[in-house]
Structure 1
């Protein structure tokens, strides 16, 4: 009997030794499950690497770690990401963005008409569901989940190119407010891209995982997610590895695009004052918008930024005349000016924060962690607004642009059984939860 026990012990020891030597000297297996963040404005894909335990957010061919959530239809091809976004001004009626706002959602005719009024492309009502009308060499309609599938397919190919192996399984994030139908249609979009979804995880929970909060002793977590087009504030209760979303509020018409638009309006007026006319050519408008966007990003780091753009300045009455020689528009934009132009918009961020605290029956002092998600939370004035309100600094240890995809990639590693093992975040469904929306 003792000999049998000794033999079993030897076998177990040999297995542990083989596993240790394998980890030390053999290349780790490639990740087979990817994490997907299908955002309203931008989307990203990440993987959890077995062995090292590192999360890699996969870049495109130009080294960019997120791609615009845009799809453009031309006479010959369907483009997704940056290539599609570049056509937004020259091919506006056939370049679809913000499709996530429509996916799986039921609309009454008036609500859909109001929602679609802000877009240059045509949105039609198909028995309460939104579809987009495309006119190339013929006219046809596509669904929001088809648009999503083209973005997910592009990210799948990015992952396969980087990893060198086929990818067929994924974990995907969705807003906490998504109902069962919206979640199912998001999964359907992934299926159209040839992906099997192993788990759907709420974006605030994914962000909390990126910050490591699923492994530490915190209870009340406030997630402020301010991206390009929407603001979402979520209050999470966490016990052990379980997350319950207690309250949600937000503004689906507030984000980085609005801050850029204020700056664009200001610079357009400066052009009119200096040269007597405003940019009319699509190319000029696009160049000015890109320069303003770049200035906005620079102002998160520097106290001032310069907008420098060559413009042709055709007016509507001069469209048939020969092109003028370009003029050079230059303007120095200070952070103080940017903040003054947007101060009323920045103040709107606090309304949903106060609402989730009230609905969660919490005081400001009861919040253990404030987590920032979305590129717009990099803006210094916004960070100061939040820290002043709570009397403490928010957690900024994770890139806010990549917080959700990082958390989803960790969950993808868990679903793929990757080593080192992670604590899985378990979400407790809150069937009675409703999002309070400000606009």
Structure 2
């Protein structure tokens, strides 16, 4: 009997030793589940690497960690991401963006008409659901979930190229205020892209996980998510590994695009003052917008930035017809300062504090009761915005994670958990709060 026990012990020891040596010297298993962030303006994909215990946000062929949430339909192809943006100026009626604003949502006719008025593409009402009208070599409609599926398919292909293996399973994030129908239609978009969704996770919870807050002793977490087109503020209450969303508020018409627009209008006025005419050609407007966007990004790091753009201005504002006056080539240059940028946008920046105050009031908390302030979205990099939030709470927000990648990082962590990746052991559980409503300001 003692010999048998000794043999069993030797086998167990050998198995443990083999497992240890396997972890040390064999290549780690490839991730089985990807994490998807289908954002309003940008989207990205990440995986949890079991060997290193780190998240890898997957890059495209050009080394970019996110792609624009735009899809363009041409006579011969359906283009997604940067390829869609490359043809957006020449194909504006068939290039759809911001589709996340419409997915799974039911609209009254007047509301949808008002919501879609600012887009160059046509939006139609199909029994309360939004659809986009596409006119290439024939006219047809596509749903928001189909547009989303093309973006998710692009992300899936990026992941498969990086991992060197097919990908079939994913975890996806959605705004906390998404109802059951919006969540189901988001899952439907993933299914159309050939993906099985194992779990849907709220974006604020994903961001909190990216900051590691599911593993530390915090109680009240405020998530400020300011992206390209929307502001979302969420108050999370955490106990152990469980998150409860206590209050939500936001502004679905405030984001980085609005800050860029203020600087763009200032710049076009400078062009008019200098040359007597504002840019009218689509190519000039596109170049100027790109230069303004680059300047805005530079101003987050530098006190000033130079805008230098070659333009082809017509002597008189008018049509672009061949019979019109010939465009005159010029080079526009202007230095813009961070102080100027802040002055142009100060009233918009102040609007950020309105939903912050609202969620604190609805959550029955004082500023001092917030344990962590988490920043999400590229626009939270703007120094003035960080200073406003810091001054309001009397303490610095947590900036240890790239705000552009916070959500996808958290979703990838959850994907690793769902895929059984070692050494992850703690999962964030969201407690559904069916009575919660988001307060929106505009």
Shared fold (TM-score, shorter chain, > 0.5): yes
| Offset at residue 420 of structure 1 (A) | 1.3
| Offset at residue 77 of structure 1 (A) | 0.6
Residues 1:347 and 2:350 are matched in the alignment: yes
| 312, 327, 330: which one aligns with 2:333 | 330
1:316 maps to which residue?
A: 318
| Offset at residue 326 of structure 1 (A) | 1.1
2:98 maps to which residue?
A: 98
| Offset at residue 323 of structure 1 (A) | 3.4
1:378 maps to which residue?
A: 381
| Offset at residue 89 of structure 1 (A) | 1.8
1:11 maps to which residue?
A: 11
Paired residues, number: 439
Distance 1:323 1:217 in 2: 67
Q: After superposition, where does 1:173-322 map in structure 2 within 5 Å?
A: 173-314=173-314, 315-317=317-319, 319=321, 320-321=323-324
- Map Cα deviations across residues 25-78 of structure 1 (whole Å, 9 max, x no partner): 100111121000000000000000112111100011110000000000111111
- More divergent stretch after superposition (258-267 vs 6-15): 6-15
Structure 1 stretches lacking a partner, 5+ long: none
Q: Is the 8 A contact 1:280 1:313 kept in 2?
A: yes
1:129 maps to which residue?
A: 129
Residues 1:405 and 2:408 are matched in the alignment: yes
Q: Give the alignment's Cα RMSD to 1 decimal.
A: 1.0
Q: Is the 8 A contact 2:42 2:67 kept in 1?
A: yes
Distance 1:317 1:130 in 2: 33
Distance 2:38 2:289 in 1: 24
| Offset at residue 3 of structure 1 (A) | 4.1
Distance 2:128 2:154 in 1: 29
Distance 1:386 1:369 in 2: 12
Q: After superposition, where does 1:14-25 map in structure 2 within 5 Å?
A: 14-25=14-25
| Offset at residue 317 of structure 1 (A) | 4.7
1:418 maps to which residue?
A: 421
| Offset at residue 268 of structure 1 (A) | 0.5
Distance 2:4 2:414 in 1: 41
Distance 1:417 1:317 in 2: 61
1:294 counterpart SS class: helix
Judged with a 3 Å threshold, the aligned counterparts in structure 2 of structure 1 residues 408 and 318 are, in CA distance, closer, same or farther, namely: closer
- Map Cα deviations across residues 4-26 of structure 1 (whole Å, 9 max, x no partner): 44333332222211111001110
| Offset at residue 322 of structure 1 (A) | 5.5
Q: Is the 8 A contact 1:52 1:420 kept in 2?
A: no
Q: After superposition, where does 1:105-120 map in structure 2 within 5 Å?
A: 105-120=105-120
Distance 1:289 1:413 in 2: 39
